Chain A
């Protein structure tokens, strides 16, 4: 009998069609040739419905986080939906203080989506996962009819192990604590926006998308007394600090002059009438710690390549209203409120 032959996927001109999600041979082929090849590891090779994972070390607890990614455009300066969907979920696990261990990924593909783009995205995901040292151990693929999706949506879920005794939460901020940010704000959102609006600047604004668990490990080793870690993604610094103020039942007062913003990003925000404090970041960290450890925390951040522009930007206060306020560089005072409505849809 002749050996069964399946023609390889046309990765140059081919597109996703409904059969790729149909559960037949075409689906198996897509998974094998694109996902299996890129993510290759012992769990995927078994081809089972789920991954069997070892239990964490005794006394450790598990942290799980999930994140859907619908960013448009799919490819942007500094990254693409592939690395973004790895970084975004890893960071959610890492800011809980956990060591990220495994990722799961689920893809919704639209009929007609170029296989070349899919391969490029999956390669970027695989590279980001490899760099972070976190394997993608299980996944799922669905295909929707043309017009019912927008190319590709990716949901990733991350699992991490929380070392014994570590307790980080947005509810832990105390009056007098220092508020620190790991670098310039608004880079990711403005990179997307500039690309979407075809804004040309002298030098390109690049997304800051990055996995933060390395930086966080250094930070927690230097200052285990750190109370809150958060990554200011959608809604930017403003939304994240308001969340923390609500959760902890405190106020926060920022010093505008101390907040790092890249001049290009500031110019783009000025041009579009946006506030960098509301713009999404994908590789930045907010850390809150008791004031006496602020210098040590800053030093730990600045010693890491992802934290060179870290800055102490404010302090936690007593405020029954849980407002976030800011001393403006101009010399006045104002609130830093949640953003109303949607400033930049489909940012991540």
Chain B
């Protein structure tokens, strides 16, 4: 595959691995957080960790849109489907996230809820147009990457004057999550969680640009390298982070120049701000209530806001008491530290959200990496 295989070349990877091993000082440890689930997935799927020297460790961050969705939001959409009888359109991963009362969207479906799996926001709008007798609600989740398509379908629905389409807007913001991690007591109290730098988001940065990260580099003295989701991107970013640490720099660098500019996609940003505005606060799974960390639909588009249309109120629900998703999302714990991991919590029967999405730290480790937990004897 052209433009893809080049970024997965084993030969180049070996060269980069040697360079990282050469440059990483043997007398210190390097702990970098990859913010995005896309990076987590690439690291696990391609076995990037095997190519790193022992003193360089990766910590999985919270950038998995399905993982950070709190139970209360899933309860909301399930209630809409079961009690209001609306047709819910959702991205596939979300369907298996456990909600209250032993339900998930998938189980609600088995109880008769009309919940459809879609691949894009446009599919939800098309369904509403095709079936005017149905109330269609699009369960809009994700970081800045998936926000512009949601804004676009809301604007299109307004232009078409659709009466049967609305959106439960759960879009969240990356910079707020990074701030929440850097402000968390574990990271602030030095030594509890060592964090020497971030691999910055790939797709999110194509929208918001590289500028929003400057604050972290300056204020918190943490290097940030924005990187693509291919395994060579990740390796190159790690090398750049090692260099920054060695040289005592804390800057925003861009490894993903083939897609990310300083300003990002201004057109998409304008579209989003036309349709949406900041929420005063939003509950994240793992990070708790984070101020100004999510978006809601503006008053002028209230007709397409499911929260307004159906008079929804938000009720937070605590996670299972042994579930460590929260600490894992903050980078404080690893999947193996959780009592539930691999026992009652598996991809087939997930208890926490990190086990649901393939971008979640637990699912990635379970699916791709759990052989590392047990020594394997060769034939």
Residues of A within 8 A of B (CB): 175-176, 197, 251, 257, 263, 266-267, 270, 272-273, 315-321, 323, 325, 328-335, 337, 340-341
Contact = CB atoms under 8 A, between A and B. Distances in A.
A332 B231 CA distance: 11
B45 A334 contact: yes
26 contacts: A176-B379, A316-B379, A317-B378, A317-B379, A318-B377, A318-B378, A320-B374, A320-B377, A323-B370, A323-B376, A328-B10, A330-B8, A330-B10, A330-B48, A330-B231, A331-B14, A331-B51, A332-B46, A332-B48, A335-B367, A335-B369, A335-B371, A337-B347, A337-B368, A340-B347, A340-B367
A197 B14 CA distance: 38
A325 B366 CA distance: 13
Contact of B376 (A321, A329, A330): A321
A251 B50 CA distance: 20
B256 to A, nearest CB: 18
A319 B49 CA distance: 22
A319 B368 contact: no
B338 to A, nearest CB: 17
Contacts of A329: 8, 10
A272 to B, nearest CB: 8
Nearest to B14: A331
Contacts of B47: 328, 330-334
Contacts of B377: 318-320
> Top 6 nearest A-B pairs by Cβ distance?
A332-B47, A340-B347, A332-B50, A330-B46, A334-B368, A175-B379
Nearest to B232: A330
B154 to A, nearest CB: 24
Nearest to A334: B368
Given A175-B379, A251-B376, A331 B17 contact: yes
B323 to A, nearest CB: 17
Contacts of A323: 370-371, 376
B96 interface: yes
Contacts of A316: 379
B4 interface: yes
A332 B44 CA distance: 9
Of the candidates B48, B50, B106, B379, the one having the most CB atoms from chain A within 10 angstroms of its own CB is: B379
A334 B366 contact: no
A335 B370 contact: yes
A176 B378 CA distance: 10
Given A325-B371, A341-B348, 5 more contacts: A330-B231, A331-B13, A333-B50, A337-B347, A340-B96
B160 interface: no
**Chain B interface main SS type:** helix
A206 to B, nearest CB: 19
Contacts, number: 88
Interface in B1-44: 1, 4, 8-10, 13-14, 17, 44
Interface of B: 1, 4, 8-10, 13-14, 17, 44-51, 96, 106, 119, 231, 346-348, 358, 363, 366-371, 374, 376-379
A319 B379 CA distance: 8
A321 B379 contact: no
A267 B46 contact: no
A193 B50 CA distance: 34
A331 B96 CA distance: 32
B36 to A, nearest CB: 14
B231 A321 contact: no
A346 to B, nearest CB: 13
B166 to A, nearest CB: 25
A316 B378 CA distance: 10
B379 A318 contact: yes
A257 B8 CA distance: 11
A331 B1 contact: no
A272 B119 CA distance: 9
A272 B50 CA distance: 27
Of the candidates B13, B49, B368, B378, the one having the most CB atoms from chain A within 10 angstroms of its own CB is: B368
B347 A334 contact: no
Nearest to B347: A340
Nearest to B377: A318
A257 B369 CA distance: 19
Contact of B367 (A251, A317, A337): A337
Given A315-B379, A329-B10, A321 B371 contact: yes
A331 B50 contact: yes
A341 B347 contact: yes
A175 B376 CA distance: 13
A330 B379 contact: no
B296 to A, nearest CB: 28
A41 to B, nearest CB: 42
A194 to B, nearest CB: 13
Nearest to B372: A333
A31 B374 CA distance: 59
B10 A331 contact: yes
Contacts of B8: 329-330
A327 to B, nearest CB: 8
Given A267-B1, A270-B4, A325-B371, A334 B46 contact: yes
Contacts of B367: 335, 337, 340
